[in-house]
Amino acid sequence: MRVLPLIGLLALGLPSLAAPAHAQFGGGPPSVGVVKVEKHPITESSEFVGRVQAMDKVDLVARVTAYIDSINFVEGAEVRKGDLLYRLERGPFEADLATKQATVAQAAALLRNATITLNRAQSLLNTPAGQRSTVDDATAQQANYAAQLQAAQAQVHASQINLDYTEIKAPIAGRITRTAVTVGNVVSPSSGPLATIYSQDPMYVLFPASVRAVLDLRTHYADKGGFGAIAVKLRLPDGTIYRESGKLDYVDPSVALTTDTLQLRARIANPLRPGAGAGDPGARELVDGEFVTVRVEGVEPVQVLAVPRIAVLSDQQGYFVYVVNAENKAEHRSVRLGQSSPDMATVLSGLQEGETVIVDGVQKVRPGAPVNPAPLGAPPAAPPAKG
């Protein structure tokens, strides 16, 4: 068995495996890629867990006892305000109204006759045939019939209301649920909701935030327009960002004692999805009761110091970066970070604008050791020749 040729092949392959990412010049300082610490525009944001809620929710309840004559809507569809949804039997209520109207006519006739009698008695009062008692009796009779007419008219009004209740119309616009009863069933005020309508556009988003977070938001945006300078974005359950943004319009005046949180509410548009019809399932993105992630962010970006995220390292003491000083030596610098993204990290303290931070080749750097810096993406400069 011949081993030496195999060892020779491995030996030939070793140089290619050991090729450095950046060419080194002799035994000089390691080459590193650097960037200047600059201000970048970022949108500050905070995230909370929230729930979508319809602005209006109405339970449709029967106001009179009657059987259902017809159902005039498609379950799950959107209805408009004033649409006829249920029609109850009308016959008994129409008959009752006609009876009350006849009573009004009867009372009106009696009142007219009483008025004639009173006028006659008053005209005879100053004659030998006239008597004060006759006038008094006629006056009382007229007042009695006037009251009876008024009561009869009130009964007509009540009967008309009951007749109108046989048509159950949509009090708001929105999406209607499935019906709880079908045609032919007898319903009454004690039957419970026949269906429910949820308004669709706009919607509310409610989310709890700690008192500290609310105070921080108030303080941070006080000189930028207060809550009016805050935009509300939503991340849907599938991780996508909802295309519409909303505005805060309410903060609870009382803190929840068990959680030390305040309930905040935002109002956000919920238009039809492109190409969807109002009656289509899932025609709108937001649904009452849906859980979402609420992102509260500034309307206008702010300028902050930021560095590439890969330049930031961490140890037991926290976050740090390597800064190249005037002597081209690496300097360990502890930093405090603000809101960061996968690409950029905002720096609240520890760095000054214009300083140079090592981004590429950090693994070759030692605190206080010299480095050979070059702008990120540029070829490294050759170190000076040794004398």
CB 295 within 8 A of CB 233: yes
**pLDDT computed for residue 1 by the predictor:** 40
The secondary structure element, H or E, covering residue 153 is helix 132-164
Q: What is the pLDDT of residues 9-28, one digit of tens each?
A: 333 333 333 334 444 445 67
Residues 327 and 371 in one domain: yes
Domain that holds residue 292: 45-55+200-273+280-302
Q: Compute the distance between CA of residue 262 and CA of residue 54 in angstroms, rounded to an integer.
A: 20
Percent of the chain scored above 70 by pLDDT?
A: 85
| Residues whose CB is less than 8 angstroms from the CB of residue 134 and which lie 6 or more positions away in sequence, other chains included | 121, 124
Within-domain flag for 34: yes
Within-domain flag for 22: no
Residues 225 and 295 in one domain: yes
Number of structural domains (the chain) is: 4
- How many other CB atoms sit within 10 Å of the CB of residue 248? 18
| CATH at residue 66 | 2.40.50.100
**pLDDT computed for residue 40 by the predictor:** 78
Q: Compute the distance between CA of residue 31 and CA of residue 28 in angstroms, rounded to an integer.
A: 9
Average pLDDT rounded to a whole number, residues 49-77: 94
Residues 191 and 254 in one domain: no
Residues 182 and 228 in one domain: no
Within-domain flag for 129: yes
Residues 293 and 314 in one domain: no
Q: Compute the distance between CA of residue 251 and CA of residue 253 in angstroms, rounded to an integer.
A: 6
Q: What is each CA distance from 250 to 253, 289, 327, 379, in whole angstroms? A: 9, 18, 56, 56
Residues 187 and 209 in one domain: no
Residue 378: pLDDT band by 50, 70, 90 thresholds? low
Within-domain flag for 14: no
Residue 80: pLDDT band by 50, 70, 90 thresholds? very high
Within-domain flag for 18: no
**pLDDT computed for residue 54 by the predictor:** 95
Residues 256 and 317 in one domain: no
**pLDDT computed for residue 14 by the predictor:** 36
- Domain stops at, among 178, 198, 218: 198
| Residues whose CB is less than 8 angstroms from the CB of residue 187 and which lie 6 or more positions away in sequence, other chains included | 62, 65, 66, 67, 68, 88, 181, 194
| CATH at residue 154 | 1.10.287
* Mean pLDDT taken over the chain: 83
| CATH at residue 248 | 2.40.30.170
**pLDDT computed for residue 387 by the predictor:** 41
Within-domain flag for 328: yes
Residues 149 and 138 in one domain: yes
In Å, the largest CA–CA distance within the chain is 161
Q: What is the pLDDT of residues 282-304, one digit of tens each?
A: 788 999 999 999 988 776 666 77
Cα angle vertex 203, ends 201, 209, to 5°? 165
